[in-house]
Amino acid sequence: MKLIENEVRTDNSKIKDVFQDLKFSEEDIKIIESLMHKMTFKKGVHIIKAGDLVSNMYFIYEGCLRTYYLDTSGKEHTIQFGIKDWWITDYTAFFLDSKAILNLEVLKDAIVYRLSKTDRELLYAKVPKIESFIRKKLERAYANFQKRILTNLSQTAAEGYVKFINEYPNIEKMVKNYHIASYLGITTQSLSRIRKDLS
């Protein structure tokens, strides 16, 4: 069961943080407030579990989350870390109306804004500039996923780690070593060796 501490509507002061650089009328703000919901989650909570139906995407206002895949042997494979200003969900399940193959876990107490698939379509129809904004965010996310695949295919583990810490400069303070190792596809022992060699 999800341990949701609260779920309330957004407030005006936060809307500009979610949709940076966009200007809204008072009517726009009322629409956004009616469709996006602020939620807080404690560290360790799973917002999505494999097998769930996925109808929401989440904007991270505060905290750190990750999506990961659990294989048949019980090994975790971290797919994505999500930090402030990022959107996160199991995108395959969200876009294809299928059951989740990923788990979405809170690694550091988080404040997120939940946007359901139905409400997203209403938001696009009523405030069209948001569709362009979210589309650009998702395009960047897709490009980053593709870059990560290429990194895994062409770079050494050490090169992958250097790229990781450049992309997520503050994340090591928020996550455990095995999270990083599972993201890089290596063991925690290999991660320790790489760090030692680089230092």
User: Does residue 177 belong to any structural domain of this protein?
Assistant: no
pLDDT reading at 105 higher than 90: yes
Nearest Cα neighbor of 106 from 24, 3, 23 is 3
pLDDT reading at 7 higher than 50: no
Total number of residues shown for the chain: 199
User: Does residue 46 belong to any structural domain of this protein?
Assistant: yes
pLDDT for the residue numbered 141 = 82
Residue 73: strand, helix, or coil: coil
Q: What value does the mean pLDDT of the chain take?
A: 88
User: Does residue 72 belong to any structural domain of this protein?
Assistant: yes
User: Do 39 and 114 touch, CB atoms closer than 8 A?
Assistant: yes
- Residue-wise pLDDT tens digits, 33-44: 899 999 999 999
Task: Mean pLDDT check: name the lowest of 78-87, 117-126, 136-145.
Answer: 136-145
pLDDT reading at 16 higher than 80: no
The helix or strand, by DSSP H or E, that contains position 124, with its residue range, turns out to be: helix 117-126
User: Does residue 67 belong to any structural domain of this protein?
Assistant: yes
4 beta partners: 41
pLDDT above 90: percentage of residues in the chain: 63
Distance CA 161, CA 196 (A): 12
pLDDT for the residue numbered 9 = 46
pLDDT for the residue numbered 95 = 93
Question: Which domain covers residue 111, as residue numbers?
Answer: 4-127
167 pLDDT band (50/70/90 cuts)? confident
User: Does residue 23 belong to any structural domain of this protein?
Assistant: yes
User: Does residue 39 belong to any structural domain of this protein?
Assistant: yes
Q: Domain with 57 in it: what CATH number?
A: 2.60.120.10
